[in-house]
């Protein structure tokens, strides 16, 4: 029998139900959960609706890192709700200013060999520590906090064998951008990535975390590195040596697909506008004028990243045509940078220092000028995510971003004459946890009053799925439609706990001036007693885990999404909120359906329960009628969830 992959070793250890056979459904025990505020408010409202008194995980943490700009009372109202509900339910609370959830979790909580479920798609960042860390919708995380196992498909494992060592000026970000150039952002549903090989030992934990972080862009379920001496060194320096345990795949582990990467052969790369898989060497972009550079986000804002920035900017000034902004990933990073003089070097160079939070990564300020190039060390560059409709956003590692900040144009960093500053992991990080509030004793928790200001809404409600669906196509969208396109963040992020208001913005990037908006069209379909239908191409629902991309369409009466393919987290969110995800049996049928067409699904309980095939009738706007064969990938419990109108309607 072949040896085991690390992912399967960890999954086997956590198996609660089902078989660990690739492609089959299983349920795994979740040791830790994390939530961030933009998804956490809804997750906790759902947890309350489920009647859970105290969370049942080993550890659950709520971070405030996304909605920290606080224009108007909404964000702070959410923070107060979250702080109080965490105290009532037994959850750690990371206060605003303490940093980005994934970075802080890596520093203070992640444990090799454990499972982590987070209501954020970049939760696999902690795979850099040897965890099976998975992103999910808020409701799935609430269910895990309630102590129930997480339902997932046992993944196909892509083994990535690393050899060699990165050359100076080539960085961990280039590893994952290279992988994105091979695997792209679509077609990887049901896969997971495991890194192994002699090159692993040359990468520090923060570098590994950069790589696992952007596995989210590939659409894989999780990405994992082994836990080795570097992991131990990192945990020791965090004062958490007791959390270390070694874990790795068996030497003869078999992978479903093998990719080999010689780190020494990689070049500095960039993801070009407007998808993380449009990869070019920075050399091919040489001399492209750049107006803005931002270093930060959960991908590239560790102490290692920012010390590199500080060491280089100590001897350089920001180009007069460039605005350089820096958002340290955590308070720990910010403080160590301040104490060792790095912050002063950055300020001296002309950099603008931002809060330790997601900030510009989620469109909270720093939107670039129209059509000007912004170079960011982030993980997503979907059109408009910067807050500027006509943005030109490139994603690179810190090295290439700094070159752009100094020269005002793209420069391949391997061609520069600057000495590459080597970084040594500190023997001890600053481990002041005073911004982390631990859960009180259960007795104290019982006395905790939950603060519920007027803008903190209600958990969503949905009626059972209609026996005979009489739908109308409210929109038809193309390939790679992301959850940012479905439910914009940026200035609308503050509406996350107010579904009726937020729902007005569904698909707002496709609204045309003078014509009814998506929300208005959906509401007229709903008022006519019919159900809304969304038709989409490949890889629908890429990107963010925001369950609002299901909840808000559901609020507007959408009950069916018909697509060529649907990404994992979004498909789960649709089911959780009573929307039926169906796939075209023949992808070319996509071209036969248009906005305004009628879609009939007779006998939904019978059709959904009798196998994967579903027959629809389509009546086009010009009265042509035809049958359309579709497929569903729902398990029997999923079918029951959709028919009940979502998970919250089930006992």
In the complex, the residues that contact ligand SF4 under the rule CB under 6 A are 66, 100, 120, 122, 297-298, 358, 361-362, 379
Number of residues that this document lists for the chain: 651
Query: To the nearest whole angstrom, how small is the minimum distance from the Cβ of residue 298 to ligand SF4?
Result: 3
CB closer to ligand MIC, 293 vs 298:
298
Q: Is 19 exposed, middle or buried (0-12, 13-18, 19+ CB in 10 A)?
A: exposed
Look at residue 45 and give the partner it binds from ligand SF4, ligand MIC, none, a contact being a CB closer than 5 to 8 Å depending on partner kind: none
Among the listed ranges 187-195, 396-404, 537-545, 637-645, the one in contact with ligand MIC (CB under 6 A) is 537-545
Q: Does 545 bind ligand MIC (CB under 6 A)?
A: yes
Cα 45 to Cα 195: distance, rounded to the nearest angstrom: 37
Residue 602, C-beta contacts closer than 8 angstroms, at least 6 positions apart: 468, 469, 617
Of the candidates 474, 488, 294, the one whose C-alpha atom is nearest the C-alpha of residue 379 is: 294
Query: To the nearest whole angstrom, how small is the minimum distance from the Cβ of residue 430 to ligand SF4?
Result: 21
Look at residue 303 and give the partner it binds from ligand MIC, ligand SF4, none, a contact being a CB closer than 5 to 8 Å depending on partner kind: none
Query: To the nearest whole angstrom, how small is the minimum distance from the Cβ of residue 4 to ligand MIC?
Result: 30
Of the candidates 499, 469, 576, 486, the one whose C-alpha atom is nearest the C-alpha of residue 536 is: 486
Tokens of 554: 């559901």
Tokens of 417: 């004459």
Q: How far is CA 450 from CA 62, 79, 87, 453, 497, in A?
A: 15, 11, 9, 10, 15
Query: To the nearest whole angstrom, how small is the minimum distance from the Cβ of residue 541 to ligand SF4?
Result: 16
Using the rule CB under 6 A, which residue among 125, 275, 544, 576 binds ligand MIC?
A: 544
CB closer to ligand SF4, 38 vs 318:
38
Using the rule CB under 6 A, which residue among 6, 38, 303, 327 binds ligand MIC?
A: 38
Look at residue 522 and give the partner it binds from ligand SF4, ligand MIC, none, a contact being a CB closer than 5 to 8 Å depending on partner kind: none
CB closer to ligand SF4, 276 vs 471:
276
Among the listed ranges 41-49, 399-407, 543-551, 612-620, the one in contact with ligand MIC (CB under 6 A) is 543-551
Look at residue 297 and give the partner it binds from ligand MIC, ligand SF4, none, a contact being a CB closer than 5 to 8 Å depending on partner kind: ligand SF4
Residue 402, C-beta contacts closer than 8 angstroms, at least 6 positions apart: 293, 295, 308, 309, 312, 313, 413
Tokens of 191: 């896969």
CB closer to ligand MIC, 112 vs 490:
490
Tokens of 595: 């906005």
CB atoms within 10 A of CB 53: 12
Of the candidates 19, 8, 347, the one whose C-alpha atom is nearest the C-alpha of residue 157 is: 8
Query: To the nearest whole angstrom, how small is the minimum distance from the Cβ of residue 190 to ligand MIC?
Result: 19
Cα 647 to Cα 638: distance, rounded to the nearest angstrom: 9
CB closer to ligand SF4, 57 vs 297:
297
Query: To the nearest whole angstrom, how small is the minimum distance from the Cβ of residue 125 to ligand SF4?
Result: 8
**Cα distance between the two ends of the chain:** 42
Query: To the nearest whole angstrom, how small is the minimum distance from the Cβ of residue 188 to ligand SF4?
Result: 18
Residues near ligand MIC (CB under 6 A): 38-39, 66, 120-122, 135, 362, 489, 543-546
């Amino acid at each position: 029998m072949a040896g085991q992959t690390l992912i399967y070793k960890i999954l086997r250890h956590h198996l609660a139900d089902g078989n660990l056979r690739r492609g089959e459904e299983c349920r795994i025990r979740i040791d830790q959960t994390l939530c961030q505020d933009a998804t956490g408010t809804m997750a906790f409202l759902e947890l309350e609706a489920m009647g859970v008194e105290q969370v049942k995980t080993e550890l659950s943490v709520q971070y405030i890192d996304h909605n920290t700009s606080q224009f108007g009372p909404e964000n702070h109202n959410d923070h107060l709700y979250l702080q109080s509900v965490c105290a009532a339910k037994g959850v750690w609370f990371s206060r605003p200013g303490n940093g980005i959830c994934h970075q802080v979790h890596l520093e203070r909580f992640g444990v090799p060999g454990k499972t982590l479920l987070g209501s954020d798609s970049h939760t696999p960042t902690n795979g850099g520590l040897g965890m099976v860390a998975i992103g999910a919708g808020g409701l799935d995380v609430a269910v895990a906090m309630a102590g129930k196992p997480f339902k997932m498909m046992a993944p196909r494992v892509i083994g990535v064998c690393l050899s060699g060592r990165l050359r100076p000026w080539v960085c961990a970000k280039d590893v994952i951008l290279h992988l994105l150039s091979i695997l792209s952002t679509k077609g990887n549903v049901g896969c997971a990535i495991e890194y192994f090989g002699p090159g692993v030992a040359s990468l520090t934990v923060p570098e590994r975390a950069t790589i696992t972080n952007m596995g989210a862009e590939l659409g894989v379920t999780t990405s994992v590195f082994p836990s080795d001496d570097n992991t131990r060194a990192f945990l020791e320096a965090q004062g958490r040596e007791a959390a270390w345990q070694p874990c790795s795949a068996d030497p003869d582990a078999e992978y479903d697909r093998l990719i080999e990467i010689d780190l020494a052969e990689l070049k500095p790369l960039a993801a070009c506008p407007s998808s993380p898989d449009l990869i070019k060497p920075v050399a091919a972009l040489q001399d492209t004028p750049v107006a803005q550079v931002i270093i930060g986000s959960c991908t590239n804002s560790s102490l290692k990243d920012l010390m590199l920035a500080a060491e280089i900017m100590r001897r350089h000034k920001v180009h007069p045509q460039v605005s350089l902004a820096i958002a340290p990933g955590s308070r720990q990073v910010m403080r160590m940078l301040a104490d060792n003089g790095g912050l002063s070097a950055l300020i001296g160079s002309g950099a603008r220092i931002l809060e330790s939070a997601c900030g510009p990564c989620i469109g909270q300020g720093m939107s670039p000028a129209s059509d000007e190039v912004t170079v960011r060390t982030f993980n997503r560059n979907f059109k408009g995510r910067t807050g500027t409709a006509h943005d030109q956003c490139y994603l690179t590692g810190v090295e290439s971003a700094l070159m752009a900040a100094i020269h005002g144009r793209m420069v391949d960093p391997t061609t520069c004459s600057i000495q590459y500053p080597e970084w040594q992991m500190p023997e001890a990080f600053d481990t002041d946890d005073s911004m982390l509030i631990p859960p009180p004793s259960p007795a104290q928790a019982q006395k905790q009053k939950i603060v519920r200001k007027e803008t903190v809404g209600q958990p969503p409600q949905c009626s059972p799925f209609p026996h005979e669906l009489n739908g109308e196509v409210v929109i038809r969208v193309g390939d790679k439609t992301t959850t940012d396109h479905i439910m914009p963040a940026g200035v609308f992020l503050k509406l996350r706990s107010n579904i009726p208001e937020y729902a007005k913005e569904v698909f707002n990037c496709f609204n045309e001036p003078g014509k009814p908006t998506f929300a208005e069209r959906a509401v007229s379909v709903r008022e006519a007693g019919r159900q809304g239908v969304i038709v989409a191409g490949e890889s629908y629902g890429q990107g963010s885990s925001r369950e609002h991309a299901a909840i808000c369409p559901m609020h507007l009466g959408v009950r069916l999404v018909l697509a060529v393919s649907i990404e994992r987290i979004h498909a789960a969110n649709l089911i959780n909120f009573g929307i039926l995800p169906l796939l075209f049996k023949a992808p070319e049928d996509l071209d036969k359906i248009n906005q305004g067409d009628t879609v009939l699904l007779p006998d939904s309980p019978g059709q959904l329960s009798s196998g994967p095939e579903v027959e629809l009738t389509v009546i086009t706007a010009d009265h042509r009628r035809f049958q359309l064969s579709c497929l569903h990938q729902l398990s029997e419990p999923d079918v029951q969830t959709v028919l009940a109108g979502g998970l919250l309607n089930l006992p």
